[in-house]
Amino acid sequence: MARDERATLLEVYQALPEEQFQSLKFLLEGRVPAGVLLPASRPELCRILLQRFPGNSLRVTAGILQQLGRLDLIQRFQLPLEEQIPEETPRELNGVTPKVRGDPTSGCRPGGIPAPPVNPRRLTEKDLMQVAQRLGKEWQEVGILHLGLERSRLEQIQEENPGNPVLWNFEMLREWRRRERHEATASQLRSCLEPARLDPGILDFLQSLQGN
């Protein structure tokens, strides 16, 4: 086990603000059990990753940092990146039955108002995290009024991620994306959020993703 690997991991984790460190642990849950991750301090998380991903812990960490938008840390510590597998390819759209617009769970607006044309590129978790970091405190209002989510689900998200507003926003957006499936695009989310009182930077960010 390389000593440099441990030292670099610890430096990376110490460079993260507490909120982003908790977000990093949350995004690791697919690879490490939540019961091990949640109580872990920065040095303990280094030990966990070194044990579970010997020789590969820096690459795993870099992949999570990329989702968090911390490319600066990847460059600063010269972390190796995993080969990125596209979340979806256009071929995966074949054979998928489009949702009926009359379905009350379809789209983001009540009353059957049609959503904008589908952009082939579905929003990634990195995209959602960047939007989540810009959302304000009125996240439940956004979720209920503009994304069409149930209040009970939003309260559950809050209970599962105590004291971390960014993760509340992120999980809310993931819930919306799960529902929208292939229609969860930048243009669709922008259309949903336009009527809300939000940081204009969110709409600008989503606008920049359209057509990518």
Cα–Cα distance between 53 and 55 in angstroms, integer? 6
Question: By CB neighbour count within 10 A (0-12 exposed, 13-18 middle, 19+ buried), where does 196 fall?
Answer: middle
More confident residue, 123 or 90: 123
Residue 109's pLDDT is 52
Going by C-alpha positions, the residue among 1, 59, 69, 71 that lies closest to residue 31 is 59
Whether 69 contacts 128, CB under 8 Å: no
Cα–Cα distance between 50 and 136 in angstroms, integer? 36
Residue 195's pLDDT is 87
What is the pLDDT averaged over residues 123-145? 87
Name the residue range of residue 34's domain.
Answer: 5-77
**Quick check: 4 pLDDT over 70?**
yes
Q: For residue 43, what is the domain's CATH number?
A: 1.10.533
- Structure tokens that stand for 208 in this block: 């920049």
What is the pLDDT averaged over residues 181-197? 87
Looking at the structure of the chain, the number of domains it has is 2
Residue 35's pLDDT is 79
Instruction: Compute CA distances 71 → 17, 59, 192, whole Å.
Output: 15, 13, 28
Give yes or no: residues 129 and 205 share one domain: yes
Cα–Cα distance between 37 and 26 in angstroms, integer? 8
Give yes or no: residues 59 and 131 share one domain: no
Give yes or no: residues 71 and 131 share one domain: no
What is the pLDDT averaged over residues 99-120? 47
Residue 181's pLDDT is 84
Q: For residue 180, what is the domain's CATH number?
A: 1.10.533.10
